[in-house]
Amino acid sequence: MTWETIPPGVWVIFGVVGLPVYATFLGWFLGKPRNIKTTALGATLFLALTTALWFGLFSTTMVIRLIFF
């Protein structure tokens, strides 16, 4: 079975799950009153947590690969 359009999982992840993240970022950068310090802190924290998540998942994947394959 091939997908002629975008698979439903992509819509769920980027649309439903990502919607609060998109709204938060828009609020930080477009909301009033603007506070650059809070915006920078939030964006940096979000980037740090995302990086930690990806690195942790990658490390776990490599450990599982070494042990089982």
- Show the tokens assigned to 57: 């998942």
- Show the tokens assigned to 5: 């359009």
One pLDDT digit (tens) per residue for the chain, 69 residues: 566 777 778 888 888 888 888 898 888 888 888 888 988 998 899 899 999 999 999 999 999 999 998
CA 58 from chain center: how many Å?
Answer: 15
Distances (CA, A) of 30 to 8, 20, 49, 58: 30, 15, 22, 34
Annotate 20-49 with DSSP letters as a single string.
HHHHHHHHHHH-SS--HHHHHHHHHHHHHH
